[in-house]
Amino acid sequence: MNKETSIDKTVSSIALLCVGICLVVWADKVTDWISILFGTILLVHAIIKFITFIKITPEKRTTLSLFYIILAACAGILLVSRADFIKEAISFIIGIYIILTCSVQLLSISTMRRKTGLAIGSYLWPAIGIIIGLLCISGQFIVPNELARLTGIALIVYAVVYLAGFAVFKKEVKKSTSRQEHAQIKEANIVREAKEAEIVKPKNSRPHKHSKKSKK
């Protein structure tokens, strides 16, 4: 991993950490901004479609197209002006769905328990689901806000885990590089000493010449 890549990943993780903190702390505001953004997009889309609808010939105009334009405009106005109402309505609908689904599961578990003898703990999750559904209906559990908080927590955990892992990885790489440099220096010293030992020789190491004696 080169220096530029490590800097990019570190900056990205810090940015994700900041986004996660914002989602956790200001979840209600963030969902309001998202609602306003989607509402604005729908309004712009409805205006563009309405202009196109006016420009085309009357023969090509259909009631269904006009209905979609009016529906998009109404949805955009609601999202922009009544973001809290939309969030509460979504939570109410989801709460009703959860209650109905968990109630059916409880009835199924009760029937199966009489026949197969399921453990009483099988009722736990459907009961928790019904409680969550009641909280959604009562407005104590706003689903978009809680989803934003869960997303923020996930981003924070990811960023912290990555930064911690990157710090450990960088430390290990630094230690490994230091060990390699030390080994290279040691090897270079050994080679240098070996070369010096070959170059420097003792003075009395000259070859001995044998004298030849003539035989009489």
Burial class (CB in 10 A: 0-12, 13-18, 19+), 82: middle
Mean pLDDT to the nearest integer, 100-122? 76
Residue 11 in domain: yes
Q: How far apart are CA 177 and CA 184, in angstroms?
A: 10
Residue 72 corresponds to which amino acid? A
Task: For residues 31-39, give the mean pLDDT.
Answer: 90
CA nearest neighbour of 1 among 118, 178, 188, 169: 169
210 part of a folded domain:
no
HSE-CB of 95 using CA atoms within 13 angstroms: 20
Q: In terms of residue numbers, what domain contains 55?
A: 3-197
Q: Judge whether residue 136 has pLDDT over 70.
A: yes
The confidence score (pLDDT) of residue 194 equals 66
- List strand residue ranges (DSSP E) for 7-62, in order: none
**Mean confidence (pLDDT) of the chain:** 79
Q: What is the pLDDT of residue 212?
A: 47
Residue 213: inside a domain, yes or no?
Answer: no
In a domain, 137, yes or no: yes
Domain membership flag for residue 207: no
Minimum mean pLDDT range among 39-43, 134-138, 206-210 = 206-210
Given a cut of 50, whether residue 16 has pLDDT beyond it is yes
C-alpha dist (Å) from residue 182 to 111, 125, 176, 178, 195: 73, 60, 10, 6, 20
Residue 216 lies in a domain: no
Q: Is the pLDDT at 139 greater than 70, yes or no?
A: yes
Q: Which pLDDT value is given to residue 215?
A: 46
The pTM for the full model equals 0.59
pLDDT in the model for residue 10:
81
Q: Are 45 and 68 in contact, with CB atoms under 8 Å apart?
A: no
User: How confident is the model at residue 216, as a pLDDT?
Assistant: 42
Over 80: is that where the pLDDT of 137 sits? yes
Label residue 95 exposed, middle or buried (CB < 10 Å: 0-12, 13-18, 19+): buried
Find the mean pLDDT for residues 29-53.
Answer: 91
Coarse DSSP helix, strand, coil percentages of the chain, rounded to the nearest 5 percent:
85, 0, 15
Residue 211 resides in a domain: no
Within a domain: 182: yes
Radius of gyration of the CA atoms of the chain, in A: 39
* Count of structural domains, the chain: 1
pLDDT in tens, 149-182: 999 999 999 888 888 887 777 676 666 666 666 6
